[in-house]
Chains A and B, each alone.
Chain A
Amino acid sequence: MSRSRLEILAGLAGALLLVLIAWGVPWLRFVLTIALAKGITVLGILLLLRAGQVSFGHAMYVAIAAYTVAFVAPRMPEVLLLLPLAALASTAVGLVVGLFVMRYREIFFGMLNLALSMVFYSLLEKLYTITHGTDGIRLPVPTFLGQTLTGPTYEWAVFGIALVLAIGFALLVRVYLAAPLGQALAGIKTREARLEFMGVPARYVLLSAYALSALMAGCGGTIIALTSRHVTPALAYWTASGELVFIAILGGAGSVLGAFLGAVVYELTRVYAAANLADAWQLILGTVLLLVILFAPGGLVGMAQGLRRRKSA
């Protein structure tokens, strides 16, 4: 079986498995919805990693969308309008910021993203009259096509949207990475000068990926806001950005499935472990991140492929 068909089958099997778990263990529905939202966001981190760039501030785009939902929902609670609106807000900011950060690579790229997200976090925290500071904003119950849903029906609706978006973006990113535009991202990492001498503006190649990553983070942020129905500045804090980078590396940079595998493993572990290990959570994440980078650079997907190869050998 070809690798790409195997990957698509594995993805569909994974999606089915998620639905089954969400159906069998109702309280995990919430966790899995968040995991899908983060997986969608991590797809954007993967695109940037493909170009050899890492953003330490992408939680900002999650937070922009989440706060957009929080501000607009009281006036217009329709989810099917909130989603595109919030995603658009993140994309628009991503385009403007992107035009600036595109001039930089590597550490400058990473740190400028971090700095901007820290500014955004502080503003969320300090502009109390608008954002209610660290108390955050609670969302009213939104409607789907005018219907007010409650309880499990609402949870299933948000889960369904997350799953559809996850599958859609996963396919989109696969197609994008195989196309010249996506291939040129790897070209930025290995030989940016050549792109310019071939007539390709490298900055705009990166900008397109950056804007797409902001769009996906915006969708992720919308789902998170709809799921938790409470947005706080913590969404934009650097630890949230670090988490996204962590998931990307854990799942396996370069693999679309890895983003979701990493996100699900991460969220499930967090549910069980974070309560007991809250004080040392970043410590554990950092240590696992180091171990993966040093000893299993392919992440979870790489390990799975290694196992499969060993079996067939």
Chain B
Amino acid sequence: MSVLLSAQDLRLAFGGVKAADGINLDVMEREFLAIIGPNGAGKTTFINMSTGHLRPQGGSITYQGRQVLGMKPRDIVRMGIARSFQLPQLFTEHTVLENAAMAVAAREGTFSPFRPLLRPAFRAEAEALLERFGLTAAAHQRADALNEGTRKLTDIAMAVAMKPRLLLMDEPTSGVAAADKMAVVETLARVLREAGVTAVFVEHDMDVVARIADRVAVWGQGRIAALGPPEQVLSDPMVQRDVIGIQPGGGAHAAA
């Protein structure tokens, strides 16, 4: 397997808080890499730096050997890196279908002023996409009228519509009702595997991590505290104590 995204010696501090303190991390082609760790550890910051929203104070991020830092978000996505958001970023005056079609149109790069957004080709692709995500029932609802789980899925579907090679997801299951969570995760994993997408996702639910991640990176105080397959990392006593919150010999606290 080859390296798709490579972060080297990343450094970024907000005031006194170190979000990245010499991070080295390689993302391998076609793997699902989960990033776990306490809140405020810098997990989202890593996604923000990789997609051009934030610029680190030092280090480098390369994608297929090309330097990503300093590029604008819109140029990075054109290279094949898409992202979804912790707070879903939807066009709230548009329907779910229109949101998806916007993403399709954006990917096609044909922002023609004359042909309609919902032209047959875009509409068909958007509908197929929504169907894969189980969003067909919500297709004609306005995005500001959705429940959190549906907003989250729409947000991810829009990122997937970009047909990225690498997808960065910020807490894909937060806000999704507990009862639906595993079904959503399974769907998501299947869609991404089918499309051959490499995925990096920040996640707090260890069941989700154990179910779909190929590797887990533990982010603590700006450093990678542990990295490896889930069965190994999640059973590490240090990780259990500091991240998952399992007391030795006791039950689990809800991970923050």
Residues of chain B from 66 to 83 with CB closer than 8 A to chain A in the complex: 72-75, 77-78, 82-83
On whether the beta carbons of A175 and B113 are closer than 8 Å, the reply is: yes
Query: Which chain B residues have a beta carbon within 8 Å of chain A's beta carbons?
Result: 51, 72-75, 77-78, 82-83, 89-94, 98, 102-103, 105-107, 109-118, 158, 162
On whether the beta carbons of B51 and A197 are closer than 8 Å, the reply is: yes
Q: Which residues of B contact A195 (CB under 8 A)?
A: 106
Say yes or no: A175-B114 contact (C-beta < 8 A), given A194-B90, A197-B73. yes
Query: Which chain A residues have a beta carbon within 8 Å of chain B's beta carbons?
Result: 175-176, 178-184, 186-187, 189-191, 193-201, 205, 208
On whether the beta carbons of A205 and B102 are closer than 8 Å, the reply is: no
Q: Which residues of B contact A196 (CB under 8 A)?
A: 72-74
On whether the beta carbons of A199 and B74 are closer than 8 Å, the reply is: yes
Q: Which residues of B contact A184 (CB under 8 A)?
A: 102, 111
Which of A176, A187, A200, A205 contacts B94, CB < 8 Å?
A: A187
Which of B75, B82, B92, B162 contacts A191, CB < 8 Å?
A: B92
Additional A-B contact list (7), CB under 8 Å, known A191-B89, A197-B74: A175-B116, A179-B117, A183-B105, A187-B102, A194-B91, A198-B102, A199-B109
On whether the beta carbons of A181 and B111 are closer than 8 Å, the reply is: yes
Q: Which residues of A contact B78 (CB under 8 A)?
A: 199
Q: Which 3 A-B pairs have the closest CB atoms?
A: A198-B106, A180-B105, A194-B89
**A contact face: mostly helix, strand, loop, or mixed:** helix
Q: Which residues of A contact B74 (CB under 8 A)?
A: 196-201
CB nearest neighbor in A for B90: A191
On whether the beta carbons of B115 and A179 are closer than 8 Å, the reply is: yes
CB nearest neighbor in B for A187: B91
On whether the beta carbons of A198 and B91 are closer than 8 Å, the reply is: no
On whether the beta carbons of A198 and B103 are closer than 8 Å, the reply is: yes
Name 16 A/B residue pairs within 8 A (Cβ), A-sorted.
A176-B114, A179-B115, A180-B111, A181-B111, A183-B117, A184-B111, A186-B91, A187-B102, A191-B90, A191-B92, A196-B73, A197-B51, A197-B77, A199-B77, A199-B78, A201-B74
On whether the beta carbons of B98 and A183 are closer than 8 Å, the reply is: yes
Q: Which residues of B contact A208 (CB under 8 A)?
A: 113
Q: Which residues of B contact A194 (CB under 8 A)?
A: 89-91, 158
B157 to chain A, nearest CB (A): 12
CB nearest neighbor in A for B75: A199
Distance A129 CA – B15 CA, assembled complex (angstroms): 59
Q: Which residues of A contact B94 (CB under 8 A)?
A: 183, 186-187, 190
Among B72, B93, B158, max chain A CB count under 10 A is at: B93
Q: Which residues of B contact A191 (CB under 8 A)?
A: 89-92
On whether the beta carbons of B102 and A180 are closer than 8 Å, the reply is: yes
Q: Which residues of B contact A187 (CB under 8 A)?
A: 91, 94, 102
Q: Which residues of A contact B112 (CB under 8 A)?
A: 179-181
Q: Which residues of B contact A179 (CB under 8 A)?
A: 111-117
Q: Which residues of B contact A183 (CB under 8 A)?
A: 94, 98, 102, 105, 117
CB nearest neighbor in B for A202: B74
Q: Which residues of A contact B109 (CB under 8 A)?
A: 199
A181 to chain B, nearest CB (A): 4
On whether the beta carbons of A199 and B91 are closer than 8 Å, the reply is: no
Say yes or no: A197-B83 contact (C-beta < 8 A), given A180-B110, A180-B117. yes
B250 to chain A, nearest CB (A): 42
Distance A183 CA – B110 CA, assembled complex (angstroms): 13
B110 to chain A, nearest CB (A): 7
Which of B90, B92, B113 contacts A181, CB < 8 Å?
A: B113
CB nearest neighbor in A for B162: A198
On whether the beta carbons of B113 and A182 are closer than 8 Å, the reply is: yes
B83 to chain A, nearest CB (A): 6
On whether the beta carbons of A189 and B93 are closer than 8 Å, the reply is: yes
Q: Which residues of A contact B93 (CB under 8 A)?
A: 186, 189-190
A290 to chain B, nearest CB (A): 24
CB nearest neighbor in B for A201: B74
